[in-house]
Amino acid sequence: MYFKQITVPGLGCFSYAIGCPGAKAMAVVDPKRDIQDYLDISREEGMKITHIIDTHVHADHVSGAHELRAATGAEIMMYESSPVDFRFSKVAEGQQLEIGNARMEFMHTPGHTPDALSVLVTDLSRSEEPWMILTGDVLFVGDIGRPDLAGSEVIEDQVRNLHNTLYNKFAKLPDYLEVFPAHGMGSLCGKGMSSKTSSTLGFERKHNPMLQFASFDEFHKAMTGDYPARPKSFTHIISTNKDGAPLLECCPLEKALPPERFAERIQEGTLVIDTRDTAAFGGFHIPGSLNIGFEKQLANWVGMVVPPDADLLLVVEDKDAYDAMTTELHRIGYDRIFGYLAGGISAWLLSGRDLEKLDQFSASELRGLAGDKNLNIVDVRTPGEVKGGIIPGAKHTPLTEVLEKGLPLPKEARTVVYCGSGYRSNIAASALKKQGYENVHSLAGGITAWTRAGFPLD
């Protein structure tokens, strides 16, 4: 049997190739939208991709099932009642798929979504007993799937389903089963995932905090509490996956736009995302652009900040950075990308067009302004982060609230925003400038720089 886990850093997505070189065939489970990795495995290992399995309708990334079917002709398999509007092979509880020495048995495991599958995998060349279980989004390493994404109207059913799957259905499975989930650290489909990419069922039963509740009431209380903020992109991604994602060949063609055409597109209402680092953006940037630096969790932050149907332009360092950025955006359903600024910000500067700055305060500069009643300091971190202390005099307004409502301050008020390292504060500050806040600044290095400088917290 052939088995390989394929990871997507940042989004925390895991997909799987399972097959049999002897049978010259393989299946792909939960494929990402950019499918070259699977095509490479198929070619290098001499296995034709014959089946594509989606364990559920994903909320945080666009499925690559249709891209892969178009490239290979493989059939798409999902649970029989999956609420999708495209052709697929319906899978029932207990149904099996055999590809040479690889056997896959399907289990209906609702809770994260009502129509979720888990897949028991057996290597028949070694044993008739299953070796591992692909748990989709119902069980992670160190966490479990959140039950709220299907909608508040079904949350009670979802919590009961999740409890039944984890505490009853999985209880019948042996401890030795290796657990391979559809997500790991970085995903917003849970809230406490381990950085480890696999585990065993026995270890999770013993050490996963979400499998330790003594009663359903305790489990219910935990499952109806706070979850990570739901990005704007999730509803769009769910809808895209239900309809069937359009092929990437239908997306706008790559365009390296000169400054004059770039400016025309801005005038037409196209949104500019500047992917440079915080210092570069602070030095000079195009008025009205959003700073979402190209870091490993970029896709999650784009999903928080940018409407999924927005027309987009990118400011990047070069063509390679543009290609990498578009891949990240396509994974979460942001397909209306109309090009990048040819020559980068230097070309814009040399064209004589307007530029803006985002002043970066150092920790010592901010410390020197202690007691200035005309200065507003805003902490945009999460509620959990601020429990460790905040900068004296700061007010806490989470980033998600800043993005949605702005600040309860006059737009001319002098304001410094900060986060953990400066990444999110630049997102917040650039969004506030776009909303009309005239005198907003960012703390370079965030609270990390503040504490390392030896300054106190409240």
Could you give all domains of the chain from N- to C-terminal order, each with its CATH number?
2-234 (3.60.15.10), 251-350 (3.40.250.10), 360-452 (3.40.250.10)
Ranges of the chain whose pLDDT falls below 50:
none
How far is Cα 426 from Cα 281, in angstroms, rounded to an integer?
9
**In sequence order, what are the residues at sequence separation of 6 or more whose Cβ sits closer than 8 angstroms to the Cβ of residue 177?**
120, 130, 131, 132, 133, 200, 201, 202
Nearest CA among 237, 412, 370, 379 for reference residue 309: 237
Residue 157, both tokens: 């059913």
Judge whether 187 and 209 are in contact, CB under 8 Å.
no
What's the sign of the alpha-carbon dihedral 156, 158, 161, 166? negative
Residues in the chain: 458
List the Cα angle 74/77/80 in 5-degree steps. Answer: 150
Q: What are phi and psi of 272, to 5 degrees?
A: -105, 125
pLDDT at 292: 94
Scored b (16 or more CB within 10 A) or e, 254-290 reads ebebebebbbebbeeebbbbbbbbbebbbebbbeebb
pLDDT at 296: 67
pTM: 0.86
Judge whether 37 and 6 are in contact, CB under 8 Å.
yes
How far is Cα 323 from Cα 307, in angstroms, rounded to an integer?
21
How far is Cα 399 from Cα 378, in angstroms, rounded to an integer?
10
Active site residue 13: no
Strand, helix or coil at 11? coil
**Residue 4, H or E segment:** strand 2-8
